[in-house]
Structure 1
Amino acid sequence: MEEKEKKIMVSDVKVGVPDIVMDMAKVAVEKADVGILEKLVEMRRQLKDEWAKERFFEALSAFQAELKPVKKTKAVKNKDGTIRYHYATFDDIVSAIQPLLEKYGLSYHFKTSFDAKSVTVDCIVTHREGHSETTSFKAPIEFSGRMLPIQEWGSALTYSKRYSLSLALGLATEEDTDMVVEEHPVEKLPEKPPEQTFIRQEQKPKIIKPVIEIEKDEEQRLSPEASSAYAEQIIKHLATYKNIFQLRNGWKKHYEEWKAKLQPEDFAEVVRFKDDLKVKLTEDAEYGDKDDDR
């Protein structure tokens, strides 16, 4: 009975004030009961908000189901002219999503705020029925000296807009296959022979057993809660990389470990952050090269 009444009221909101609320309002007017009228107004507002929220997530779900991965059209080249990888620019993302946003009654806008060393962008996605959701992203300003200060701010702002919009809409980009490029091979030093440690027979069970247990634990995938927390730590760690070479080497070093430990959805989130960070660091390097040329 309760479920039936809810369905009737929510569907009525779509075309106007629910009949039940109107009937109660007539009684309240006849009795001149202001208290009941105030409660009815609040009830109507809550019903309208509930209905608008349902329509928002229905539209967002349909939008995500129909949208294909955004293609990466921007090429980043090596010094010899060969293509290192491609990435999706902010314009690529907007061009891909705009038709479907209009189709499903969705829109977005940004609000920005600045402090001494960072920029924060709020991406607000709104449905035509009035409900909206906000996703925030904060990017630090490094002031590396390779770009003018205004370029540092512009790069961080573009990066924050791209990433906050992608998070808000749940966007995915087509994965590039040439992330690892050996540009600066590191000369390997001769390996030091392992030190010989003599262990008495009675000590072996106490020393070897904990090592075996640790290795076994490392082979197991983390629980969803632990995986989510670990993914946040990884993203914070990746954000400390200051250039594309640090990112490439760090990713190559930890890729297998992170993929084995994280839940698939958490690993996908880390990959998305890595891709966007790679674009930002590449843009920073390109801006720096242009300044050097001048």
Structure 2
Amino acid sequence: MTDNIYSALFKFQGLVRGVKRDSKNPHFRNNYASLEAVTDTIRPHMQECGLMWLQSPGKIIDGSIEVKTTIAYPATKETIEFTMEMPMAKRDPQGAGSALTYAMRYSLMAALGLPPTDDDAETAIDRENIRPDPDQPPKSSAQLKRDGEWERVTKSIASDMVDVHTFAAFEKLKASYRIEATKNGWNRTFLEQLADHFAGLEDRLAREIEQDNLLLAGE
């Protein structure tokens, strides 16, 4: 039976839209999602959904290296496995390492249904047609500090975080504050500070969820 793992993957795909292109290829002058971006994006959400992944290199056959990817649901020991063969540009350690990294990131993205994306916080705002209130022009950093906006918002976030125990709830909370800050005329600097603040809170939430999963696993 694979009902549990498919249900977990269904939940996961509802939480993650894609992986941001964070690196540039100097030869082809294009942007791509690095292996680090892929793993950083999927790790907390897979843990929330009770999923894990394993990847291992296989044989080198006719100039191509094999990479086996396994998506697992540890609670029931269900797995989904597949193997990708990636051609090596050069038959040396550097060529093998490059092909292996390439295969690992694309295997994970294909297995989990994640496209590369150029989205960041601001393009997400644009996609949702969120614009500053025309009656509320952008404020300077000095004005925002004088008005006590930062202290007010961070205190409110701290209060709301008490009831946040999943990444889905966290993403909804983060989006609501981003919308509020944008409509209230926060400038780019303060919006970036807000993103950094939520990044720290996300790391803390990830540790809390990991601890809870370890406790459940030990029961």
Q: TM-score, normalised by structure 2?
A: 0.49
Greater relative CO (CA pairs within 8 A, separation 6+): 2
